[in-house]
Amino acid sequence: MNNDLAIAVAHLAGYLSGAVASDGDIRHYTAGAFVVGDENGAESPEAMIRTFYAKQTILQFSSSQKMDRGLADLERQLGGYLIRKPWGSIEQSIPQQVVDARRAFLAFRIMDMISDMAPEARNLCSVHKVEKDSSGSDSQVTFFCIRINPGFLVLQFNDDSPFVRAHAA
């Protein structure tokens, strides 16, 4: 991975982390970004993600799908992962259209960053959604994998609520 891409991905990872942290449940919901590559040019990201995490955990995915409309589907789904519980416990007093507008704005900003760091993503038109469901005290993890030249740009969203509840004292 070239240095410019590494810096841009780190910037995106920080932005994602800050966006999900603004909800207030910083121990329950986290997000990040990274790039996985494959010399063989694999079309599916699951094996590359498993290799990325190989020394840390064994990943079993519960679902994997190629999104029909690619980046358009990604932008439409991102908002719900960025704002899950709007601004903590005051969510009842916030009109839904305000929450929807904020979700759309954050998703737009992320899509803009992706476009700047990997303009080829528009032409490659390949986005996968890969999920690891929680079982017991495991975290629920969703990966959005965007095809770029060195492999996939991966946006990772973690719902650690089951783990936090299981280990609360």
Q: What is the pTM of this model?
A: 0.84
At residue 78, φ and ψ (nearest 5 deg) are: -55, -40
Q: Across the beta sheet with 127-132, what order do the strands follow?
A: 29-37, 151-159, 140-148, 127-132, 63-66
Taking residue 119's Cβ as centre, other Cβ atoms within 10 Å add up to 10
> What is the distance between the alpha carbons of residues 130 and 99, in angstroms, rounded to a whole number?
26
Distance CA 153, CA 8 (A): 11
Listed in order, strand segments (DSSP E) in the chain are 29-37, 63-66, 127-132, 140-148, 151-159
How do the pLDDT tens digits run along the chain, 169 residues long? Answer: 678 899 999 999 999 999 988 877 777 889 999 998 866 656 678 777 767 766 556 667 778 899 999 999 999 999 999 987 665 555 567 788 888 899 999 999 999 999 999 888 888 778 999 998 767 667 788 999 999 987 899 999 988 776 666 666 5
**Six token digits for residue 84:** 């899950």
**Residues spanned by the domain of 145:** 3-166
Residue 17 region, left (φ>0) first, then alpha (ψ -120 to 50), else beta? alpha
pLDDT at residue number 73: 95
Structure tokens at 58: 């064994």
**Do 117 and 111 contact (CB within 8 A), yes or no?**
no
Q: How many domains does the chain have?
A: 1
pLDDT recorded at residue 111: 95
